[in-house]
Amino acid sequence: QVQLVESGGGSAQTGGSLRLSCVASVALRSSPYRACMGWFRQPPGKEREGIANIDWDGKTNYVDSVKGRFTVSRHNANTTVYLQMNSLKFEDTALYYCATCRTGGVFGYWGQGTQVTVS
């Protein structure tokens, strides 16, 4: 089964940077859920929201709140995804998750989450 592990979370000051990593198990290579990998976040007391994703061909998408500040990329035969977060704001504080999707944008596998705190 596909397993995802996030890392790189922690504390940062406003205006600072963090880079999150998500490593997928090799099972992703033969899974229909390799069509995209995405990042979600859940701020305290709020619902989880999608913020960025990248498809198999490298095309990226971002929500307006992070566009221009965050960059998603893939490495290691598309089994590793990164989220470079620059110009961090207080409202970026959240639990960040990575996930993988199949065609149609249906997400099927999720990581355990990594905490980002901006002060």
pLDDT reported for residue 75 = 86
pLDDT in tens, 12-69: 999 999 999 999 999 998 999 999 999 999 999 999 999 999 998 899 999 999 999 9
Q: Tokens at residue 102, please? A: 């199949």
> Position 101: which residue type?
C
Give the chain's mean pLDDT.
95
Instruction: Tell me the pairing of strands 4-7 and 60-62.
Output: unpaired
The number of CA neighbours under 13 Å toward the Cβ of 91 is 5
